[in-house]
Chain A
């Protein structure tokens, strides 16, 4: 059987007395779009933070293409082929859109060559610039390359963020709420984009917009209070009672009855 791209097993993260993730397991295969949904505070972003090394789990393992990922510092992820977007965007306001995207490139900057503006530094800059323009073009935002991010509509800023993540040519792309704040038209375009990206990489999408996740994911994991309450194909999830309970709350009659199903 083929090696999964991402294999999370029995992950537990505790913040003081709060159990943010409780023995969470999930598996993302190559070229799979995997949706993670759940109410606020379910632990979705914490899961991303654990995968990215921002949070150290108490128990469990994370494997990326068969290799253990735990202990990898966030800045080493790009090198192994993992890119992530942040919920709060995390664009660098002091850089133009083009520079923001260029900085996403997987490159080893050469300090002395840069200090002396040697040919190799100029050459590298040109290559990265061309590549960044190409990625911006692919996302349809090449026209704003020289603009500061703050001057752009939110939807365009979100595309810049994805462009930066794509610069690293990742094999695993983690998108943290890519649809939040987007218009209906923009969400459609996002769905189309992620669908295209699937040919090149695996994508994990943490998202509140359930319709989007249902539409684009091959598999979905539903979290609630740090636990996986359901996982499977979109159709499995649609019919899952635990999921509708988590989202819509306990049926009043059932709650009064004391014993659920």
Chain B
């Protein structure tokens, strides 16, 4: 006789097990990679993972739901300041601080999302830009709470003892950030493949048609904003741990614009696009910075060269791969597959840029 017991395995739906499997594989690879590289590279790896969290969230909002936000740097600031304030004078564990900071940013995102749902195109861009400009000012204005221009310091996370006494803290924060990034990607991946993701895209592509299909357009837009803000908050919180300092200068308009440029370079609307964009975001300035300093240029030129090269890379990327790195790679892949299939193929390099299969 069969005894009916609750089966944990029944909770592992095909979608979830596929995403978890991919994330687990990536986690193992990245842990191994992180253990092979030096502290500075681990530090950069952590930065990429943190940016991945922010950019996947932004890509969900902008690429998938069609709402352009130029203010996500400010939402990262909400996460970072929440973390810094929570840790001031308290020794709270990371596992509590991260969700709390995420929630704080999600709440700000909800308030802002309600306003954003009423705005379109340039008006939405303007309003979110105002958020990016205005919010860091609060830290300066109320300096007794937020530490003013100097900001608030955050003690670095110390690796647990079982990892060894000389385990570098850069590697530990990299592991934490990688885990957080992969969890974020699993959750957003689930969302993208569900009816919720379909509704996000429907609202992006045609609002009136979406409404007639029974989709509450405004509510869908607010939900996308909240999810996206929560990601930004999580990224901001980890950013505070990673940099050890939360100051207004770290969350200026430039950060918000960098996040947008990352998803555009990486590929709008796909999770992998956000990853490519984050890699570019971290590595191009690091590379160009190294180049500039090795050229022994006067500091007035040398200090601005990385930014110049970054801008040039942006322009070239837009010209060469208008659908981002992700789109470019898919095109290459499709071309290779078409060639593989032989001349009989009637695809002839015709590529579906916005193929959701890879999203």
- For residue B194, CB closer than 8 A to chain A, the reply is yes
Query: Given A93-B205, A93-B354, A102-B198, does the pair A121, B214 have CB atoms closer than 8 Å?
Result: no
Flag whether A251 is at the interface (Cβ < 8 A): no
The interface-forming segment of A111-119, A134-142, A208-216 is A111-119
A115 B202 Cβ-Cβ under 8 A:
no
- State the CA gap A244–B319 with chains docked (Å): 57
Q: How far is the CA of A217 from the CA of B184 in the complex (A)?
A: 54
Residues of A within 8 A of B202 (CB): 92, 95, 103
Among A37-90, those with CB < 8 Å from B are 52, 54, 73-79, 83-84, 86, 90
Residues of A within 8 A of B214 (CB): 75-79, 104, 106, 168
On whether the beta carbons of A148 and B212 are closer than 8 Å, the reply is no
Asked whether B36 is an interface residue with its Cβ less than 8 Å from the other chain, the reply is no
User: Is B171 close to A, CB under 8 A?
Assistant: no
Q: Does A91 contact B (CB under 8 A)?
A: yes
Of residues 263 through 290 on chain B, the ones whose CB sits less than 8 Å from some CB of chain A are 269
Bound complex: CA of A77 vs CA of B212, how far in Å?
A: 7
Q: For residue B269, which residues in chain A have a CB less than 8 angstroms away from its CB?
A: 94
Specify which of A79, A109, A168 is in contact with B194 (CB 8 Å cutoff): A109
Tell me the smallest distance from the CB of A4 to a CB of chain B, in Å: 22
A251–B204 Cα distance when bound, in Å, is 50
Count of A-B contacts with CB under 8 A?
120
Residue of B nearest to A96 (CB): B356
Give Cα distance in the complex from A174 to B217, angstroms: 21
B204 and A78 form a contact (CB under 8 A): no
Within 8 A of B (CB), among A119-133: 119, 121-122, 124-125, 128
B189 to chain A, nearest CB (A): 9
Residues of B within 8 A of A95 (CB): 198, 201-202, 205, 356
Instruction: Answer whether A122 and B11 are a contact pair too, CB < 8 Å, given A74-B208, A75-B217, A148-B352.
Output: no
The size of the chain A interface, using a CB distance under 8 A, is 41
Nearest-Cβ distance from residue B341 to partner chain A, whole angstroms: 17
Per-residue 0/1 for A154-171: is the Cβ within 8 Å of any B Cβ (1 yes, 0 no)?
000000000010001000
User: Among B16, B206, B214, B215, which residue has the most Cβ atoms of chain A within 10 A?
Assistant: B214
Report yes or no: B194 in contact with A114, Cβ–Cβ below 8 A.
Answer: yes
Chain B residues, CB < 8 A from A107: 195
Q: A121 vs B198: C-alpha distance in the bound complex, in angstroms?
A: 13
Please tell me if the beta carbons of B356 and A118 are within 8 angstroms of each other in the complex: no
B195 in contact with A124 (CB, 8 Å): yes
> Could you say which of B10, B190, B211 contacts A117, with CB atoms under 8 Å apart?
B190
Cβ contacts under 8 Å, A128 to chain B: 195
Residues of B whose CB lies within 8 Å of any CB of A are 10-11, 13-16, 19, 187, 190-191, 193-199, 201-202, 204-206, 208-217, 223, 269, 352, 354, 356
Interface pairs (22), CB distance under 8 Å: A74-B211, A77-B212, A84-B212, A86-B212, A90-B212, A92-B201, A93-B205, A93-B354, A94-B205, A94-B269, A99-B201, A102-B195, A109-B196, A109-B199, A114-B194, A114-B196, A117-B16, A117-B193, A117-B194, A121-B15, A125-B195, A148-B354
Report which A residues bind B (CB closer than 8 A). 52, 54, 73-79, 83-84, 86, 90-96, 99, 102-104, 106-107, 109, 111, 114-119, 121-122, 124-125, 128, 148, 164, 168
